């Protein structure tokens, strides 16, 4: 149950449109909803930390993913699934026609209410990636942040092999509130970006590269050993994790601005 649904429930009780026992029955799914052996859904998460439970669909069966998404869809107006294959997406959409799937990011979304579109003066996250092969991870980050209602700017294929491409985006980079830097191969992009901007930089190593890339281990170590300050590093290919961290930063900025 997200904050808006809880507020609506409490308003109905206050106005006499719902009795207390019915409201209590609605709240009995807190703090989790047991799906019978394979999932316990954390319905309380949005109230605790501002983000509802997100469904990591990799290694789940289509039937399990559908059951989880359906139950979340009952309690939330916005539901997100990550790492969804095309085959699984088709099975989900057959049961949940409202689901939207993006094959690049592998994200599946269910939305009853669109969030307000951030203005051009809103704080934003800048998503940069080294090459076109990094797009699935980059778009996972970008689209998760957009799903959460944030403004996102993108600069793709700006890797260090052609540094002038990155420098051509310098104005947008230095004005960002947080930068997510995504790169495979040797992963040097995050150190370069962090040396140019005052904002926090979130590095995401990808499993893109030839053999000595070791499926992302090489860029992971490069980012962990960054000689630039202010770099936080996510796990390999974890675009969602980077977006979640950036969301926390942007949410704090928005709260501060609202209080001023």
Domain ranges of the chain: 3-111, 124-259
User: What pLDDT does residue 168 have?
Assistant: 92
Beta-strand relationship, 124-129 and 178-183: parallel
- Fold of the domain spanning 124-259: Rossmann fold (3.40.50)
Residue 82 has phi, psi (to 5 degrees) of -115, 160
Contact 172, 155 (CB under 8 A): yes
Give me Rg for the CA atoms of the chain: 20
User: What pLDDT does residue 33 have?
Assistant: 63
pLDDT tens-place values along the chain, 260 residues long: 566 667 777 788 888 888 878 776 666 556 666 667 776 666 666 666 677 788 999 999 999 999 989 888 887 888 999 999 999 999 999 999 999 999 999 999 999 888 888 888 899 999 999 999 999 999 999 999 999 999 999 999 999 889 999 999 999 999 999 999 999 988 899 999 999 999 999 999 999 989 988 999 999 999 999 989 889 999 999 999 999 999 999 999 988 777 76
Q: How confident is the model over 141-170, as pLDDT tens digits?
A: 999 999 999 999 999 999 988 999 999 999
Q: How far apart are alpha carbons 218 and 209 in whole angstroms? A: 9
The full DSSP string for 56-115 is E-TTS-HHHHHHHHHHHHHH-SEEEEES--HHHHHHHHHH-TT-EEETTTTEEEEESSPP
Tokens at 36, concatenated = 């019978």
- How many other CB atoms are there within 10 angstroms of residue 249's CB atom? 18
DSSP state of 117: P
Tokens at 12, concatenated = 């109905």
């Amino acid at each position: 149950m997200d904050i808006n649904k809880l507020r609506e429930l409490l308003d109905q009780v206050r106005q006499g449109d719902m009795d207390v026992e019915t409201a209590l029955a609605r709240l009995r799914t807190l703090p989790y909803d047991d799906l019978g052996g394979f999932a316990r859904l954390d319905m309380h998460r949005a109230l605790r930390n501002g983000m509802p439970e997100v469904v990591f669909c990799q290694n789940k069966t289509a039937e399990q993913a559908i059951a989880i998404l359906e139950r979340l869809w009952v309690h939330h107006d916005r539901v997100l699934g990550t790492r969804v294959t095309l085959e699984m997406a088709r099975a989900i959409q057959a049961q949940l026609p409202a689901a939207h799937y993006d094959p690049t990011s592998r994200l599946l979304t269910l939305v009853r209410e669109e969030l307000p579109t951030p203005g051009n003066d809103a704080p934003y996250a800048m998503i940069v990636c080294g090459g076109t092969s990094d797009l699935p991870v980059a778009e996972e980050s970008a689209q998760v942040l957009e799903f959460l209602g944030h403004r996102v700017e993108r600069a793709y294929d700006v890797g260090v092999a052609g540094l002038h491409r990155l420098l051509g985006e310098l104005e947008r980079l230095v004005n960002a509130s947080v930068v997510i830097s995504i790169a495979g191969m040797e992963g040097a992009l995050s150190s370069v970006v962090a040396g140019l901007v005052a904002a926090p930089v979130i590095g995401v190593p990808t499993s893109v590269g030839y053999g000595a890339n070791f499926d992302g281990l090489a860029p992971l170590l490069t980012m962990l050993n960054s000689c630039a300050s202010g770099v936080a590093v996510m796990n390999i290919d974890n675009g969602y994790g980077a977006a979640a961290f950036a969301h926390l930063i942007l949410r704090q900025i928005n709260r501060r601005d609202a209080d001023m």
